[in-house]
Structure 1
Amino acid sequence: MMRRHWLLVGACGWVLLVLVFASKFINFGFRMPDDYGGRPELLNWTFPSIKTVKPLPEQLVQKAASQSSPAVTQLFSIQSSGGLAEVELSDWHSVTVQRLQLLSSICRNSSLWNLTHTPLRKFVLDRIFVCDKYKILFCQTPKVGNTQWKKVLIVLNGKFSKVEDIPENVVHDHERNGLPRLSSMSDAEITERLHTYFKFFIVRDPFERLISAFKDKFVKNPRFEPWYKHNIAPAIIRKYRKSHQDTGESAGLHFEDFVRYLGDEPGRQHLDQQFGNHIIHWLTYTELCAPCDISYDVVGHHETLELDAPYILKAAGIADLVSYPTIPPGITRYNRTKMEHYFSGISKRDIRRLYARYQGDFSLFGYHRPDFLFD
């Protein structure tokens, strides 16, 4: 009887050893729908610890390439439920420096000059929000999580004590949120701030950003902005839909119509004048923030926001004062399946025209041309 007992104990021990050994080679996944309504993607709850080693460039580019990412700067896959694995912020500084070096290099490329430079007119200065107390300028770029950054600045300006306390309807109400725009200041004040304040903005894969803008403004329209569906969409349909049998509001704007409108240079300019500032959701980053004409300190990427957000807070000297709101797992990941789905019915000619419009954004921020859409 005693012998059988010890044999059972021994067998259990071997089973435990086998399980421990196997767990080192097996990741247990959980399927979770992505934030944009595409197919569910596999998110791994286990993620190896990352410790970057300087010098970084070749290692980081290889890491990005191994993940089949369209962005050179999308360096780490967003896979853990609790956020990214630990990375030293001092190491992430090397990544941000590389981004600025690439930006500077492309800005000097004369062949892309018209796509990368813009005058510092009032329209650009309207996009830049000011926090004088901590000497920060933030240029908002729609569809990259800029609402959360505005909440951070609202707290810093003292309007609310915590980002969680800020009502959503206040964030975008520029009469109530306590965020002054750079355009509201004198020329001397603007110049001083542009030269002395910490300046940053966030970018995202240009085509994914367009898909997000299309869904938000013409499909979901969550903020009850009726002009997108009732004024802008019908105007685009009338001019760009090949078949005009169903041009009424009930038919709705198709992504194909949207792409054809965006790629029509210079034919869309008359419509853009008619639409006014509502077009900011699909303007280029050059048109919005003038990255070649303003010397920004950090350019964050939506795809690596889990690392960029804490780095920006630390670089701006405000990490101990405010936190960036929690980022839902997987929400910032690049989604090739979604990209293929939206562009599946669009002609290669229209895709080429669209890319020509946003080529400056792809080049300035290291995003690869999506060749899989052109094949």
Structure 2
Amino acid sequence: MKLNKHTANCRIRRYLLIFTALSLLLLPLSLIYLVWNEQLQKINGFEDINQTHLPLIPDYAVQTLKPLEMQQLALRMESRLDRLKEKCTEHGLDVLGHDSWHTPNTWEFLVNKKYHIIWCNVFKAASSSWMFNFNILAGYTPNYLLHTKKILLNLARERYPRVTLDELREAQNDSITFIIARNPFERLLSAYRDKIVFALPYSFHDKLGRTIVRGYRKKPALIARAGNTKYPSFPEFVHWLLDQVKRGSFIDMHFVSATSFCTPCLIHFDMILKFESLAEDQLYLIEKTGLKRVIAPVWRNMGKGGRKTHELQHQFYSQLTRQEMLQLYDYYQYDFELFGYDIKEYLQFARADDTVGLAAMGV
């Protein structure tokens, strides 16, 4: 009996040793798998929850509009769309043609069929904020988007392939299509500062800036306004842009006219949001799409607007002559008119050494 008991104890100890050894062997493997799986989820930009549905914003954090505010904003949107239709007809932009102004362009539309929302991405018009939101709707987690080194536009295109005109129109049957408009001159200055003045070293726009300096710094009309910077002065940049327009050259997506870029006279839009009233406008959009528990009206790259914006406009546009400003207006005229902006304030900033063309503007 004692022998059997001793034998049983030996077996138990043996089993414990085997179990301990297996545990020591499997634990590192388990940890390796967990770490690998976590990294895989980060690479894909997904968490398990996002494979079925998106995490919901807590009720206490949801921003809403009162019924009266919704009614007022509905009238605002209707007024903007009425103006768009009127100006499109006035300028013949609602007629098909062979140039970029009269050919429907679906290149920058992001179509989310699951949540029935479509956006034409006008760069430098709250594009960072809504690129973030559309990536959330595509299943990427906020944490991933905030920490990834990947370009958000590239991530979005992995989930939002470009669509044909027929595909876009089919998706629009049960979706809300919107655009965000911004004062064309304010948008241009924002793009100039972001992409030219603060261009990343050796990037495409850094090289472009150097090319502009080499080509325009010695021009007599620009010498006095050139400065000593490595990047183009604002007048040099404007002259380069105007030359691109005259030659019919490709215009960078950050500087191109929004009218040419999204062709709102040829593609139906349900809402026109504006950069200047975006805080309210995007709440209205989110409410109408039923996404208030999914995306928040986060506005990235804050610091725009108010006194600082006015001072920047004055600082840079006062470097242009009125003639240069009017030539610039010629290119962005449709953006001004379709979306209800005015050049007169900028003409007050301009250098007073050239008054040609002002009579035509009624100034």
Give TM-score, length-normalised by structure 1.
0.65
Report the CA distance shift for 1:362/1:211 in structure 2 as closer, same or farther (over 3 A).
same
Report the CA distance shift for 1:177/1:111 in structure 2 as closer, same or farther (over 3 A).
closer
Give the AA of the match of 2:262. C
Matched, 1:256 2:230: no
Report the CA distance shift for 1:149/1:293 in structure 2 as closer, same or farther (over 3 A).
same
Measured in 1, the distance between the counterparts of 2:302 and 2:136 equals 24
Report the CA distance shift for 1:263/1:349 in structure 2 as closer, same or farther (over 3 A).
same
Matched, 1:294 2:273: no
Matched, 1:153 2:134: yes
Give the AA of the match of 2:79. Q
Measured in 1, the distance between the counterparts of 2:302 and 2:168 equals 38
Q: Which residue of structure 2 aligns with residue 221 of structure 1? A: 199
Deviation of 1:105 after TM superposition, in Å, equals 0.5
Measured in 1, the distance between the counterparts of 2:290 and 2:124 equals 26
Measured in 2, the distance between the counterparts of 1:88 and 1:174 equals 36
Q: Which residue of structure 2 aligns with residue 283 of structure 1? A: 256
Matched, 1:205 2:186: no
Deviation of 1:195 after TM superposition, in Å, equals 4.0
Deviation of 1:328 after TM superposition, in Å, equals 7.8
Report the CA distance shift for 1:304/1:245 in structure 2 as closer, same or farther (over 3 A).
closer
Matched, 1:353 2:353: no
Give CA-to-partner distance per residue, 1:308-335, whole Å, 9 cap, x none: 1111111222122221215687634473
The 8 Å contact of residues 116 and 292 in structure 1, kept in 2 or not, is answered as no
Measured in 1, the distance between the counterparts of 2:202 and 2:267 equals 31
Report the CA distance shift for 1:219/1:204 in structure 2 as closer, same or farther (over 3 A).
same
Alignment partner for residue 172 of structure 1, among 146, 152, 159? 152
Alignment partner for residue 213 of structure 2, among 224, 237, 251? 237
Q: Which residue of structure 2 aligns with residue 12 of structure 1? A: none
Unaligned runs of at least 5 residues, structure 2: 1-62, 353-363
Could you say what the CA RMSD is over the residues aligned between the two structures, in angstroms? Answer: 3.4
Report the CA distance shift for 1:225/1:251 in structure 2 as closer, same or farther (over 3 A).
closer
Measured in 1, the distance between the counterparts of 2:189 and 2:302 equals 20
SS of 2:316 mapped into structure 1:
helix
Q: Which residue of structure 1 aligns with residue 101 of structure 2? A: 117
Measured in 2, the distance between the counterparts of 1:189 and 1:128 equals 11
Report the CA distance shift for 1:168/1:296 in structure 2 as closer, same or farther (over 3 A).
farther
Unaligned runs of at least 5 residues, structure 1: 1-82
The 8 Å contact of residues 179 and 273 in structure 2, kept in 1 or not, is answered as yes
Alignment partner for residue 319 of structure 1, among 287, 292, 309? 292
User: Does 312-321 or 290-299 show the bigger shift?
Assistant: 312-321
SS of 2:243 mapped into structure 1:
coil
**Rg larger for:** 2
Deviation of 1:165 after TM superposition, in Å, equals 5.1
Measured in 1, the distance between the counterparts of 2:125 and 2:329 equals 19
Give CA-to-partner distance per residue, 1:166-204, whole Å, 9 cap, x none: 435345252577431333xx6643331244421111111
Q: Which residue of structure 2 aligns with residue 8 of structure 1? A: none
Deviation of 1:259 after TM superposition, in Å, equals 1.3
Any residues of structure 2 matched to 1:58-97 within 5 Å, and which?
88-97=69-78
User: Does 104-113 or 300-309 show the bigger shift?
Assistant: 104-113
Q: How many residues align?
A: 279
SS of 2:319 mapped into structure 1:
coil
Deviation of 1:143 after TM superposition, in Å, equals 0.9
Deviation of 1:92 after TM superposition, in Å, equals 1.1
Deviation of 1:215 after TM superposition, in Å, equals 0.5
Report the CA distance shift for 1:89/1:328 in structure 2 as closer, same or farther (over 3 A).
farther
Bigger proportion of residues as helix? 2
Percent identity between the two aligned chains:
24
The 8 Å contact of residues 129 and 300 in structure 2, kept in 1 or not, is answered as no
Give CA-to-partner distance per residue, 1:128-177, whole Å, 9 cap, x none: 112111121111111122111122122222222x4785435345252577
SS of 1:263 mapped into structure 2:
helix
Measured in 1, the distance between the counterparts of 2:148 and 2:334 equals 33
The 8 Å contact of residues 129 and 299 in structure 2, kept in 1 or not, is answered as no
Give CA-to-partner distance per residue, 1:234-288, whole Å, 9 cap, x none: 3333444425989999632110011112233743434x3xxxx7x0000001121
Matched, 1:104 2:85: yes
Give TM-score, length-normalised by structure 2.
0.67
Report the CA distance shift for 1:188/1:327 in structure 2 as closer, same or farther (over 3 A).
closer
